[in-house]
């Protein structure tokens, strides 16, 4: 009796449990499964191949066409189209009558050696019944024909921006000037500025700085206080500036413009 590895492993174990039987018959089961699987695969492959051949044969039978009943040499008669005799072409529209035209070209500037004798302009009688053109054409009188007016020419309109007109310059080519110059301005301030009594009692002095606009007509506007002293000094300086006569306006590129002007007004207590 041939002793196998399985006999040696299960020598002291229970061989009736099932594991010994499975290990002992494993090779035979594997061989049997391989043979059965191969047979089934071959059977399926052969069946599929036979099915494809049968389908191809049926398709060839369906494609065959019976041409025995068809006569290819027989000509097919063409359908005859009847044209009615009473059909007449539509009448042609008559072109509109041509308007009488008189040749008249405006003169063009030329050199003396290029000047030729020009044709005289048409008379007023001819222009009453014809239109002006670059050639003379015989036709019906223009009184009976409506001639549309020429399209209006586009006129370029230059719009002046309001912002440019209202621009206030900080510095210009020719500064704004008080009548008589700076010396007359100082005399005007010394004569018209009154020292407020409240500032005198409080012993307050100093420099009020005003800023205003000299308009194009020389008038003063937009007065503001840049530096204040208080005690009525600011209000007095503004009052005097408002009552000033018209200045000579500032100029830029030779035309009057609006200019900012800064003016200090000094208050000094005399001992």
- Residue for token pair 């009448």: 91
Residue 163 pLDDT greater than 60, yes or no: no
Q: Which residue has 């009796």 as its token pair?
A: 1
For residue 178, name the pLDDT band (cuts at 50, 70, 90): very high
- Is 180 a member of any domain? yes
Q: What is the CATH number of the domain that holds 207?
A: 3.30.2420.10
Residue 23, in any domain of the structure: yes
- How wide is the angle at C-alpha 192 spanned by C-alphas 189 and 195, nearest 5°? 95
Q: DSSP readout, 178-190?
A: -TT-HHHHHHHHH
Q: What is the pTM of this model?
A: 0.42
Question: Taking 60 as the threshold, does the pLDDT of residue 227 lie above it?
Answer: yes
Residue 87 lies in a domain: no
- Environment class of 230 (CB within 10 Å of its CB; exposed 0-12, middle 13-18, buried 19+): middle
Domain boundaries, position 28 = 5-45
pLDDT greater than 50 at residue 67: no
CB of 214 closer than 8 Å to CB of 220: yes
CA distance 81 to 101: 52
In a domain, 106, yes or no: no
Rounded percentage of the chain residues whose pLDDT exceeds 70? 54
Mean of pLDDT values over 78-104:
65
Within-domain flag for 186: yes
Q: Give which of 248, 232, 230 is closest to 240, Cα–Cα.
A: 232
Q: How many domains are there within the chain?
A: 2
Question: Counting beta carbons within 10 angstroms of the beta carbon of residue 250, is it exposed (0 to 12), middle (13 to 18) or buried (19 or more)?
Answer: buried
Q: Hey, which of 132-136, 201-205, 233-237 has the most confident mean pLDDT?
A: 233-237
Q: Assess if residue 155 is contained within a domain.
A: no
Is the pLDDT higher at 98 or at 84? 98
């Amino acid at each position: 009796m041939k002793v196998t590895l399985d006999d040696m492993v299960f020598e002291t174990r229970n061989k009736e449990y099932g594991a010994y039987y499975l290990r002992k018959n494993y090779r035979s089961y594997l061989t049997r499964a391989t043979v059965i699987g191969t047979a089934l695969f071959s059977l399926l492959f052969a069946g599929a191949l036979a099915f494809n051949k049968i389908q191809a044969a049926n398709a060839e039978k369906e494609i065959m066409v019976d041409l025995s009943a068809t006569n290819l040499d027989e000509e097919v008669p063409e359908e005859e189209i009847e044209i009615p005799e009473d059909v007449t072409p539509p009448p042609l529209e008559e072109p509109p009558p041509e308007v009488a035209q008189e040749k008249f070209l405006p003169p063009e500037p030329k050199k003396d050696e290029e000047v030729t004798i020009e044709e005289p302009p048409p008379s007023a009688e001819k222009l009453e019944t014809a239109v002006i053109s670059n050639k003379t054409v015989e036709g019906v009188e223009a009184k009976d024909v409506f001639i549309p007016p020429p399209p209006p020419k586009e006129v370029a309109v230059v719009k002046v921006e309001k912002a440019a007109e209202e621009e206030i310059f900080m510095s210009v080519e020719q500064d704004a000037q008080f009548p008589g110059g700076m010396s007359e301005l100082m005399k005007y301030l010394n004569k018209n500025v009154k020292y407020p009594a409240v500032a005198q009692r409080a012993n307050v002095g100093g420099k009020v700085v005003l800023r205003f606009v000299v308009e194009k007509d020389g008038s003063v506007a937009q007065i503001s206080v840049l530096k204040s002293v208080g005690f009525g000094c600011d209000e007095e300086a503004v009052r005097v500036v408002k009552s000033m006569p018209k200045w000579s306006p500032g100029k830029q590129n030779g035309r009057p413009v609006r200019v900012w002007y800064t003016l200090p007004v000094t208050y000094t207590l005399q001992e």
